[in-house]
Chains A and B, each alone.
Chain A
């Protein structure tokens, strides 16, 4: 099971980590990067740091890490500036990003590393409304890849002065979140072949949920949505899931819902949401 929840600091690292870190406190961010990177080194992972702010953080006081130049020279650490990462190839294309990180992860593994641990400043993408949709899509692809791929984990850095909407949207797409001033009401992430919806969804978050669902990569004949960690979901949230089920059905994909509360199943029946699209309700295994 992947690590998930709200973070005040990074205390442990593991396979498939995907952290959204809103940088409200430079000292806390530096400490989080150091813990995240040191944990990756201890796990035998290669490191990739993207963005000047992240590189600066590594160059700072850093008792837990070996000398950065040595790490670079040894090929343990690679760095990219924002321009190199996002602007060099022209338009930001999520699928091309995935190809890049997949190649880098596989290269790390073939070079003898356990995987690739990435710390990336994605603020420039979140800052630009034209690129935000692609960023959401990229975060969904990256989360699937971190959960189910060969061994990538990532910490995504967001500047705290981004708009509250952008920060909430970004935070909602990560299993692990540090965003003290804009705690997302829900988080949606992949785990063990399922899409997990954790937290609370009401009318005011339903559109955000719809965007997250629509941009989540799905494969196979059935996709499983796990509501076992859903504390509350209202009618608009249920209708959003039903609408997504209809969209999936148009692509010949069935939706199975795991761990739905009795109330959710009652809503489904009372509002005849099965007429929107049939959904299979599965009990959580004991």
Chain B
């Protein structure tokens, strides 16, 4: 059933909407009224878009642009696992102050690599889980229907309870409540090229991080990427030893334009949001993964009763 939803009404609960657009005019026709509607209600408005549409929106907003918080999605969403942390901080900042919040976020822009779009889909599903039972706010996620692969737009319909264009707004028939659970448990695709693989256990953390650093260096990655991967290796191998059954497997391989390092162990992570939001100072655990998400280019985490895999892709 498709039920009309009146966009003029204040949000109750988390309102997560996919806006499908074809070209800049439709993008503005969809996003601008949403942003202006928020400003008229004195809601905080946070926009995270790739640079070209950030500029487009700024120009269109004119004087109103200075009250809007802008983020370059190519920075905060380079690794899509970082984006929920940005929204979570905005929700905390504004709703605890009693203010309404509207967000615009386009993680799945045209031109992103296929593997990044997969993580964008998981991110969109996880948004419902992260904010579904929290304070009310609205998030509009623009999708470039003209240029994105059709599978990505179909994925957006499954991840958003509401679908819209510049002219209509309806419930999404394809929406899958709790769709994140299956996506979080799904196995990652297997590498197609030669893989270097090794097992680590207690006492092997220094050797594991040095192995990863050496591999990253030999692949020609710059020093800051090598350092980030070395730290990631130390944190993730430590997690396997402490929480993942005492040992794990390291796999490293090359893909077109990328170096991939993967850690897997027999443990299961029950919280699919682990590492996506900033841990509190008194919180036990989650910090290593948070750091890895912040420092690495693309992090794919999957966990199920058969084990946990964390795959880090670094672009060359």
Contact = CB atoms under 8 A, between A and B. Distances in A.
Whether both chains belong to one complex is answered with yes
Interface of A: 185, 200, 202-204, 232, 234-236, 261-263, 266-267, 270-272, 275-276
B136 to A, nearest CB: 27
Nearest to A267: B291
Interface of B: 205-206, 209, 224, 227-228, 230-231, 234-235, 238, 242, 278-279, 281, 287-288, 290-291, 294-295
Nearest to A242: B281
Contacts of B230: 232
B235 A235 contact: yes
A286 B294 CA distance: 30
A261 B235 CA distance: 18
B227 A202 contact: no
Contacts of B281: 272, 275-276
A270 B205 contact: no
Given A234-B234, A271-B287, A261 B227 contact: yes
A234 B231 contact: yes
A236 B235 CA distance: 9
A181 to B, nearest CB: 14
Given A261-B227, A272-B278, A235 B205 contact: no
A235 B294 contact: no
Contacts of A271: 278-279, 287, 290-291
Contacts of B238: 202-204, 234, 236
30 contacts: A185-B206, A202-B206, A202-B209, A202-B234, A202-B238, A203-B234, A203-B238, A203-B242, A204-B205, A234-B231, A234-B234, A234-B238, A235-B235, A235-B287, A235-B291, A262-B224, A262-B227, A263-B224, A263-B228, A263-B295, A267-B231, A267-B291, A270-B295, A271-B279, A271-B287, A271-B290, A272-B278, A272-B281, A275-B281, A276-B281
Contact of B206 (A200, A262, A263, A276): A200
Contact of B205 (A203, A262, A263): A203
Contacts of A204: 205, 238
B214 to A, nearest CB: 13
A236 B287 CA distance: 9
